[in-house]
Structures are given as structure tokens and as C-alpha cells.
Amino acid sequence: MTDVARLAGVSVKTVSRVVNAEDGVHPTTAQRVLSAIDQLGFRRNVSARNLRRGTGTGTLGLVLEDLANPFYSVLTRAVEEVARVQGKQVLTGSSDEDPTRERELVLEFCARRVDGLIVVPAGHQHGYIAHEINAGTPVVFVDRPPGNLVADSVLIDNAGGTAQAARHLAEHGHRRIAFLGDAPEIHTAAERLRGFREGCARAGVPFQSDLVVMGPHTDESVAEVLSGPLREATALVTGNNRITIHALRALAGRPARPALVGFDDFELADLLDPPITVVTHDTWALGKSAAELLFARLDGDTSPPGRVVVPTRLLVRGSGEVVR
């Protein structure tokens, strides 16, 4: 700022008034300051200014599993849109399902004095965040609840979604229904397996543990189990969008394919042959609800930590109605 003042031939205070859009500066002088700013490439330090004013840094931290996953891309855009309306920016980081990386990102964002945090937890121990919450940084967990910590969370009705998928397949005459899930230590994977088990029970279909394979999965591992242990299954429930795509690759070209219901919708699912029946949910609402809950805390809401559950619904397209 001193360099701008020197080049424009004004005081540092005058530069500060122009940068912060304050009154009391002659238009000609203001234009001279703006020209000096452009010439020097000056950028004001918004975080420092806000901290001096006691209004925070104007930033939020968002810790995800993997920003490359379309599910998290939509969630991020929803958070960004709510933040934009509130005049704040969002800093994001991917934990890659690594609890150590999650902790590193959370503590780094806190060190940068973000005003609040939204976290998709990778681990099960979150006591390390308690100090930040007690110090006044609001934290909302999204997609999965925290472990070892009572805090706000926004979740999907995971168990209800897979229960509906299992009942739907049973209604179409299937008795040997397989389940391909993510790593069982992940909350959403465990909940979806629980819902699948309960859906089978309600539909009067035997739950067969030999038809359940949990991840993590790759194209190769899914192809192997669909050609081996799960080959006799007449129907298949896949635990997330990535597993569904693995399964579709493995089943491509097979003359007799099992009926398929996937958890999570995905791009072009409706254009495949047959179109893919999915358990869908409003991912935008998930991110939006988390951001709105965070801003309510920033605005002074001191009510006890709450839990919001976003509902799921079965989107019938054709792949889940195949009779083998």
C-alpha cells in the first residue's frame, strides 16, 4: 500500500479509503490511486482487514473425500453458492479417505482462521476438533456423522435407500440378490449394507452373506467377483456410483445380466441400455443444508447440535426390472 501511495502521490490513508470504497476522496485522486493499483498489481489482504475489524477471514473450509467424484463436486457447488450469497469464499481439500489427511486439512484450515468448517469425515475419532469448536469455530459434518464428538451433521437416508432397492428387486421375483458395497468401516457403506439386510428381511428374501462383497473396489475386483462368487445372483445392488460403473464395465457384453439397482445417480445413467434404476437423493440439498446450518451457527444459533437427514427415492428406469 505504501508503494501505491508513493506512485499516486497521496497518503497511505487515502489509498486505504479508495481500496475500502470509503467516502471523502476526490474522484480525480481516486482514479489516480486506482491507476497506481493497476500498474503495481496491488491486491488488498481481505483476511487481515476482516480480522482487524473482528469480522473473521471471510472464508470457509470444506474437507471432502475426493473432489473428482461427481457426488462431491455437486455438494461443493451447493456450499459455494450459499457462501457466495453470504459474501464468503470456500477453501476445499480432499482427504482421499485417509483420517490422517483429514486431520491435516482440518487443522490447516483452522490455522488459516477460516470462519467455519464443513467436513466429510474419513475417520472415526474427531475429538481433535473439539478444541476448535470450543474456541468458537463452528463445524458441520456432512454425509457421515463424526466419531467421539457431538456436533451438527447432515446425512442421507442410506439404510432407507438400500432397503427400498432390495424390496423393489424382490417384488420383481428375485430371490438371490447380491450386494456390492464400499469399505465396511465407512459409515455410509455400513448403513447401506444394514438397509439392504433389513430390506431383504421385510421382503421375505433370504439375506445371503455369500452374495455380499464389501470394498474398496476396482474394475478388476468387481469383474472378478461378478464372474465368481456372485455369478449366480439374479439381481445386484451396488453401494455407490463408482461401484455401479465398475459393475457395468464388468457386465458389458454378457448375454444374461442380473437386474441392477445402483445407489447414487450418475451422468448418462438414463441413456444406457437398459437405463439404470438408481436410489437417488438431492446432493445439492445435502450441501445446501450443511452450509445453511453452518451460517446459522455463525449468526449466533446456540441450540444443541442437530442432525438433518436428506431422504432418498427409487428412480425406476429399467435395469432393476430385468427378470433373469
Mean pLDDT of the chain: 92
Q: Where are the alpha helices (DSSP H) in 95-138?
A: 99-111, 130-134
Q: Match domain 57-156+283-310 to its CATH number in 3.90.230.10, 1.20.1300.10, 3.40.50.970, 3.40.50.2300.
A: 3.40.50.2300
What distance in Å separates the CA atoms of residue 232 and residue 137, rounded to the nearest whole number? Answer: 52
For the chain, give every residue range classified as CATH 1.10.260.40.
Answer: 2-44
Mean pLDDT over 143-158 rounds to: 96
Mean pLDDT over 145-162 rounds to: 96
Q: What pLDDT score does 198 carry?
A: 98
Q: What pLDDT score does 20 carry?
A: 74
Mean pLDDT over 187-214 rounds to: 97
Q: What pLDDT score does 53 carry?
A: 47
Phi-psi region at 264: left, alpha or beta (left = phi > 0; alpha = psi -120 to 50): left
What distance in Å separates the CA atoms of residue 226 and residue 238, rounded to the nearest whole number? Answer: 12
Residue 250 confidence (pLDDT) above 80: yes
Q: What pLDDT score does 44 carry?
A: 58
Q: What pLDDT score does 84 carry?
A: 97
Residue 225 confidence (pLDDT) above 70: yes
pLDDT one-digit tens code per residue, 32-65? 888 887 787 766 554 445 544 455 789 999 999 9
Q: What is the third-level CATH fold of 2-44?
A: 434 Repressor (Amino-terminal Domain) (1.10.260)
Q: What pLDDT score does 172 carry?
A: 95
Q: Where are the alpha helices (DSSP H) in the chain?
A: 2-8, 12-19, 27-40, 46-53, 70-85, 99-111, 130-134, 158-171, 187-203, 219-227, 241-251, 283-298
Element (H, E) at 177: strand 177-181
Considering only residues 115 and 40, tell me which one the structure prediction assigns the higher pLDDT.
Answer: 115
**Range scoring the smallest mean pLDDT among 13-27, 133-147, 225-239:** 13-27
Q: What pLDDT score does 51 carry?
A: 47
8 and 19 Cβ atoms separated by less than 8 Å: no
Q: Which CATH superfamily is domain 158-281+314-321 in?
A: Response regulator (3.40.50.2300)
Residue 22 confidence (pLDDT) above 90: no
Residue 271 confidence (pLDDT) above 70: yes
pLDDT one-digit tens code per residue, 162-195? 999 999 999 999 999 999 999 999 999 999 999 9
pLDDT one-digit tens code per residue, 70-81? 999 999 999 999
For the chain, give every residue range classified as CATH 3.40.50.2300.
Answer: 57-156+283-310, 158-281+314-321
Q: What pLDDT score does 52 carry?
A: 46
